[in-house]
Structure 1
Amino acid sequence: MDVLLTVVVPVYAVEGYLYQCLESIRAGLTAEENAKVEVIAVDDASPDSCGTMLDDYATRHGDLRVIHLEENVGLGLARNAGLAQARGSYVWFVDSDDWLPSGSVRAVLERLTENEPDVLLIDHLRVHESGRLQTDPSSPLLAGSPDLNRLIGVQHTAWNRILRREFLAKHELKFPAGWYEDVPFSNPVLIAAERLDVLNRVCYHYRVGRFGAITATRSDRHFEAFEQWDRFYAWLDGVEFDPGLRVRVFTLMISHLLVIAGNESRVHPSRRRAFFREIAALYRRHRPAGYLPPAGTPGLKHRLVAANSYAMYAALRTGYRVAGIRRRSTQRTPVVSRDLPSPPQRVKTTSLR
């Protein structure tokens, strides 16, 4: 039977989570469904026991292909290494510290067979270390018929879209090196797709707040986001593109960078001014003609970026943080968690994934 779906799992310093991820991919599949799926794990020169764990798993189960890279190349290039060895008509990039809820692969296989899209978007839940499940703010955009103007606002990650390999090859779409490698990949795959489909079902559990993750690591490497957005715009300038969608993308870009700037876990306070200045420079480089900022507080922040007014931005940020602290101190937070099995023991490593 031909392979329909290749699941590529890049692996680096996640020994406390790896087995859960691998086990979740084939869980509950029938023999016929299992034959349609291949799993490729890419050991990105992991400094812990992940390489050995992968080899042992492949020996025991016989349904895992393992690629060992001689040196650490980073998440994007590790995904490319798996993609180069894929045999499936479609590829799904699954991060090795996350996992798939029961029935996800079966649902994806059925939808791919039924509609044969270039890109299939799926929904996900954010999973906190406490086990609390949280809906992503962009998830409501998945409702309704596939519409690019709406779906471009869905969180731009590699793991929430399943991609036809021939489509990727036709448009020469691969991941670049560096942090925020999803930006110049996940946006173009949506824009270039002729057949876009949505499976409005939670098919992915995304672990947040993990020690060692990029989003929990203070580093100047967060400045690499600017290069990745410039790389995306270089691609965008070479294709026909709806001007209205260009405005939408620009708004999302500035909002994304402001999230990074305001995150204490990413940008050190001493570097926030420099980061803000880079946002302002990017704003000037890529601002669409006649662009108007959004309404409300987001629009105010966009206007401060346009004016390159860090002092006002810092004052606004401080004001909202103080107001938020006061509000939380006088309100009791409702319980919104859903029960999950206890997460595996967290392993403190130097991983930057």
Structure 2
Amino acid sequence: MDVLLTVVVPVYAVEGYLYQCLESLRAGLSAEENALVEVIAVDDASPDACGAMLDGYAARHGDLRVVHLPGNVGLGLARNAGLAEARGEYVWFVDSDDWLPSGSVRAVLERLRETEPDVLLVDHLRVHENGRLQTDASSPLLAGSVDLSRLLGVQHTAWNRVMRREFLAKHELRFPAGWYEDVPFSNPVLIAAERLDVLNRVCYHYRVGRFGAITATRSDRHFEAFEQWDRLHAWLAAAGVAPALKVRMFTLMISHLLVVAGNESRVHPSRRRAYFRRIAALYRRHRPDGYLPPAGTPGLKHRLVAANSYTAYAALRTGYRVAGLRRRSTERTPAVSRDVPAPPRAVQGASLR
């Protein structure tokens, strides 16, 4: 029986989460369904026991292929290494500190056979360190008809889309090196797809706030996001995409970078001014004809970027943070069940954090 789905799992310094991830990939599958799936784990020269854990797991179960890289190359290039070994018609990149809820692989297999898309988008839940489950702010965009402009607003990650390998090869879509490697990969994947489908079902549990995760690490490497967005705009220009899509991507880019700038878990306060200046430079470099700032507070922040007015941006951010602290001090936060997703708190890209 031919392999329908290859799951590629890049692995680095996640020994406390690795077994949960691996066990979730085949949980509940029948023998026939199991034969349709292959799992490739890429040991990205992990400094802990992950390499040995993978070899032991493969020896015990016999249904895991392990690729050991001689040196650490980073998440994007590790994914490419797994993709190069894949035999499945489709590929799904699953991060090794995350896991799939029961029934996810079966649901994905059924949908792939039913609609035969180039790209299948799936929904996810954010999982906090205390176990609380939260619906992502962009998840409502998956409801309704398949509309590219709307779906570009879904969180731009590799793990929420399942892709046909021939489609990736045809369009030469691979991950670049560096942080924010998803930006110049996941957006072109949607734009280039001729057959795009959505499985509006939670098929992924995304762990947030984990110590050591890129999104929870203060570092100047977050400045690498600018190079990745430059790569995306170069692809958009070469692909000759419609002006409306260029406007959409530009708006999403500025909103995304403002979220990063305002997140103290990523950009140190002493580096926020420099980060803001880089956003303003990117704004001037890529602003497309027909662009208009969004409504409300997000639009105000876009205008401050256009004016390169960090002082006003900082004052606005401080005002909203103070107001938020006062509001939370007077409100009693209701408990949220660990088994029931919390409602989305904000529109993606609009957080002032």
TM above 0.5, yes or no, is: yes
Distance 1:273 1:313 in 2: 10
Structure 1 position 19, deviation (Å): 0.1
Match of 1:351 in 2: none
Match of 2:66 in 1: 66
Moved more, 302-311 or 240-249: 240-249
Corresponding residue SS for 1:327: helix
Match of 2:210 in 1: 210
Distance 2:319 2:188 in 1: 37
Distance 2:75 2:307 in 1: 35
User: In the TM superposition, what whole-angstrom CA distance separates every residue of 1:236-281 from its partner, at most 9, and x where no partner exists?
Assistant: 1011322122111111100000000000000001100000000000
Match of 1:289 in 2: 289
Structure 1 position 286, deviation (Å): 0.6
User: In the TM superposition, what whole-angstrom CA distance separates every residue of 1:203-248 from its partner, at most 9, and x where no partner exists?
Assistant: 0000000000011100000000000000000011011322122111
Alignment of 1:239-254 (within 5 A): 239-254=239-254
Note if 1:127 corresponds to 2:154. no
Counterpart amino acid of residue 30 in structure 1: S
Counterpart amino acid of residue 320 in structure 1: Y
Corresponding residue SS for 1:176: coil
Counterpart amino acid of residue 265 in structure 1: S
Distance 2:314 2:149 in 1: 32
Distance 1:77 1:337 in 2: 38
Counterpart amino acid of residue 95 in structure 2: D
Alignment of 1:18-57 (within 5 A): 18-57=18-57
Match of 1:151 in 2: 151
User: In the TM superposition, what whole-angstrom CA distance separates every residue of 1:83-126 from its partner, at most 9, and x where no partner exists?
Assistant: 00000000000000000000000000000001100000000000
Distance 2:339 2:244 in 1: 42
Match of 1:115 in 2: 115
Alignment of 1:1-353 (within 5 A): 1-339=1-339
Match of 1:348 in 2: none
Indicate conservation of the 8 Å contact 2:2/2:88, yes or no: yes
Distance 1:338 1:20 in 2: 18
Match of 2:348 in 1: none
Distance 2:337 2:192 in 1: 37
- The runs of 4+ residues in structure 1 deviating greater than 3 Å are none
- CA RMSD after TM alignment: 0.8
Corresponding residue SS for 2:95: coil
Gaps of 5+ in 2: 341-353
Distance 2:290 2:339 in 1: 48
Structure 1 position 338, deviation (Å): 2.4
Distance 2:21 2:221 in 1: 27
Corresponding residue SS for 1:336: coil
Distance 2:332 2:3 in 1: 51
Corresponding residue SS for 2:239: coil
Moved more, 223-232 or 327-336: 327-336
User: In the TM superposition, what whole-angstrom CA distance separates every residue of 1:28-63 from its partner, at most 9, and x where no partner exists?
Assistant: 000000000000000000000000000000000000
Structure 1 position 290, deviation (Å): 3.1
Counterpart amino acid of residue 13 in structure 2: A
Aligned pair count reads 340
Structure 1 position 339, deviation (Å): 3.4
Structure 1 position 145, deviation (Å): 1.7
Distance 1:36 1:339 in 2: 30
Counterpart amino acid of residue 38 in structure 1: E
Corresponding residue SS for 1:40: strand
Corresponding residue SS for 2:238: coil
Match of 1:347 in 2: none
Structure 1 position 337, deviation (Å): 3.0
Distance 2:82 2:216 in 1: 26
Structure 1 position 335, deviation (Å): 1.8
Q: Kindly, what percent of the aligned residue pairs are identical?
A: 87
Corresponding residue SS for 2:120: strand
Counterpart amino acid of residue 258 in structure 1: L
Indicate conservation of the 8 Å contact 1:2/1:88, yes or no: yes
Counterpart amino acid of residue 11 in structure 1: V
Distance 1:72 1:190 in 2: 29
Indicate conservation of the 8 Å contact 2:247/2:290, yes or no: no
